[in-house]
Structure 1
Amino acid sequence: MSVIAEFKVPAEALALSETLEQTPEMIVEIERVVAHDDDRVMPYFWGRGGDYTEFEAAIDNDPSTQSVMKLDEYEDGTLYRAEWTQNIESIVYAYLEVGATILEATGRTDNWELRMRFDTEDLVADFRNYCREKNIPYELLRLYHPSEPKGGGQYGLSPK
């Protein structure tokens, strides 16, 4: 049975920590992370709540990112896609190492809150060991088995 784990990690344990520090009013919500065979990580993420010009300038100078692209702009947020550099040893590579899935990730100035799915409890232990070996700090907030399936209904879609 799969396991859901909720974590809190310091901002510097994930990419964009310098960006979040320079734009404290912004919140980053990762929508989807795409991992490539050559260990490149390309997340889609929303920026919300602050000065987008400052935010984009900070992203351009953030050593954890390269090739940031603005995809969509709306009144309540902007969608970006970025490539994270390989020189950061972060919690992202820990999740890739064990094959977990990031379900939610929200970044603020001082921390990231993550909700991840692991196929088995053993993979949670592998994740913990990887983080320990690489000195990646995290705080486990909650660990549980999903109580009900999440199908198309979670997005308001009808069966047709």
Structure 2
Amino acid sequence: MGGTIVEVSIAAKEFALGHTLATLETVTIEVEQTITTDRDGLMPFIWFTTDDSHALERALTDDDSVTDFHLIADFETDSLYQLKWNDQVNHLIRVLAEENGAVLAATGQDDSWHLRLLFADHDAVRRTSEYCEGQGIPLEIKNIQEFTRDSQTRFGLTKSQQRALQLAAIHGYYSVPREATADDLAEELNISHQALSERLRRAHGNLVDHVFLNRVGTPEVAETDSNEDVASE
């Protein structure tokens, strides 16, 4: 068993930093990944992207979901803060931790949060979903997928997409001037020119989504190598 990944959305006002997101229309919030055994410490470090740090701290001061905050690092428009949450946020975090859930990615923007969660199995997902429903916690499930060694690598890439990108980089496909053509790569991978083109396009899209936009719920995330190859042939 490789675990189950669940992608969910939840209104910011029902979870965390609702006031901050509503006050600063252009702010983007991302969770800094940490390893912790503290149920109340699953989301202690948060990245904020905004060009007005003073407005951000005023918003955090007035945000009921935050009981305290400290600036850890400041890099122009990106700032890392350590936050302490109120009881409502800690309660939902404890719900996720109860089934040994892990937050793989979390992004807050506009009026909602998008989270990618990892659970041991489908039963843990079901129990968490049922508990949230019974407690009136509006957790909207967007996507469920198995997490196995063969399903995907980091950044949502399938094994074949990662292989294509590695081969392209090794042979100078991205060099200027280009040292290898798409036909060269297709021949090396023993696939058609069209299949290579689509594989690279999907890989580039997944990299942009996961590295720059940190999106969840995109169709390519759940795509397997076999499905991709069938679609490309």
TM over 0.5: yes
> Given that residues 41 and 83 in structure 1 are in contact (C-alpha distance below 8 angstroms), is that contact kept between their aligned partners in structure 2?
no
Match of 2:6 in 1: 5
Match of 1:36 in 2: 38
Pair 1:48–1:5, CA change in 2 (3 A)? same
RMSD (Å) for aligned C-alpha atoms: 2.2
Query: Radius of gyration: which is bigger?
Result: 2
Could you report, residue by residue, the CA deviation over 1:102-159 in whole angstroms, capped at 9, with x for unpaired residues?
0100001211110000011110001101111110112211110121465xxxxxxxxx
Pair 1:133–1:62, CA change in 2 (3 A)? same
Q: Runs of 5+ in structure 2 lacking a partner?
A: 155-233
Q: After superposing the two structures, state which structure 1 stretch, 81-90 or 54-63, moved more.
A: 81-90
Aligned length: 150
Pair 1:55–1:76, CA change in 2 (3 A)? closer
Quick check: 1:86 aligned with 2:87? Answer: yes
> Given that residues 11 and 110 in structure 1 are in contact (C-alpha distance below 8 angstroms), is that contact kept between their aligned partners in structure 2?
yes
Match of 2:204 in 1: none
Taking CA–CA contacts closer than 8 Å with sequence separation of 6 or more, which of the two structures ends up with the larger relative contact order? 1
Kindly indicate which of the two structures has a greater share of residues assigned to helix: 2
Q: Runs of 5+ in structure 1 lacking a partner?
A: 151-160
Match of 1:124 in 2: 125
> Given that residues 23 and 50 in structure 1 are in contact (C-alpha distance below 8 angstroms), is that contact kept between their aligned partners in structure 2?
no
Q: Distance in 2 between matches of 1:60 and 1:107?
A: 18
Match of 1:15 in 2: 16
Match of 1:73 in 2: 74
Name the SS of the counterpart of 1:123 in structure 2.
helix
Kindly indicate which of the two structures has a greater share of residues assigned to strand: 1
Pair 1:129–1:123, CA change in 2 (3 A)? same
